[in-house]
Amino acid sequence: MMRKVLVTGGAGFLGSHLCDRLLADGHDVLCVDNFFTGSKRNVAHLLNHPYFELLRYDVTFPLYVEVERIFNLACPASPVHYQHDPVQTTKTSVHGAINMLGLAKRVKARILQASTSEVYGDPEVHPQREEYWGRVNPIGFRSCYDEGKRCAETLFFDYRRQHDLDIKVVRIFNTYGPRMHPNDGRVVSNFIVQALKGEDITIYGDGSQTRSFCYVDDLIEAFVRMMESPKGFTGPVNIGNPGEFTMLALAEKVIALVGGKSKLVFRPLPADDPRQRQPDIALAQEKLGWQPKVALEDGLKETIAYFRRTLEA
């Protein structure tokens, strides 16, 4: 069934891949983005598609459109970008959620919130399960993003309780792939760009901190399954790859795949940077029949090829 679907943050890394998938599935897609971190290049190949529309817009203002599904992805997601204007980051998460929930209520649309594993903060529970409430610094440099996303989740569940709104909430763990911003400060893009340029690779702390990396295609599949899951299943549900790697292991893998003679250099660990991050995806496996399929090495090869083309261009 063709549906009218709104994707906020649709010209971003994840949003553009989601637009690709929704159009491939036969939907009519309205992509909304203010292009703070998103890029027209990410959706340029879609501009002539008969069922794709691009709108420059900021979700901190109310939006009046007629849609049946809303994917709310709008928000800078890397520390470099969300710390650039922390007040605006919080407004995007909170006001953006209020505006999209209001729209969903008015048009009776189902709405999915792209939340984040950052709601768990620097966790004391490992791996992280959905019932864990987290350990977040409410006044730190990362709080604009962490607490903004936590407040957005609160709003979603209050709209469900108060207005019986049809909501879905996913918590995204580290995701990588083509169309990542080369200067977003995330570990995968940092390592790949530094290696391709023949620069030293920067490790923060001693490199023993861990992350779990999910390839973008796997994540988008989970988005689609979550949106079409039964109404009674709201989440939140963890979406990520439970494979856990240290920063040192990731750096060594990138160097091996790129080649060259990059060396590792160590810098102080940023404030409130989580020591470990790994999703428990049992709920996604049970309710969505989903689990990631792309191995880290295979995903890195695709991502390296994309950054190689981007740097050459």
Q: What span, in angstroms and rounded, lies between the C-alpha atoms of 26 and 130? A: 32
Q: Are 119 and 146 in contact (CB under 8 A)?
A: yes
Measured distance CA(288)–CA(221) in Å, rounded: 10
Among 199, 217, 216, 193, smallest CA distance to 308 is for 193
How many other β-carbons are positioned within 10 Å of the β-carbon of residue 265?
A: 11
Query: What is the per-residue burial (b if ≥16 Cβ within 10 Å, else e) of 65-86?
Result: bebbbbbbbbbbbbbebbbeeb
Give just the sign of the alpha carbon dihedral 264, 267, 270, 273.
positive
Backbone torsions φ then ψ of 64, nearest 5 degrees: -120, 100
Return the structure tokens found at 135. Answer: 């350990």
Task: Please provide the DSSP assignment of 109-143 as one string.
Answer: -EEEEEEEGGGGBS-SSSSB-TT---B--TTSTTH
Active site residue 159: no
Q: Which of 82, 120, 145, 159 does the annotation list as catalytic? A: 145
User: Nearest 5°: phi and psi at 56?
Assistant: -80, 120
How far is it, in rounded angstroms, from Cα 84 to Cα 79? 8
Rounded to whole angstroms, how far apart are CA atoms 18 and 264? 35
φ, ψ of residue 48 in degrees (nearest 5): -95, 5
- Catalytic machinery residues: 145
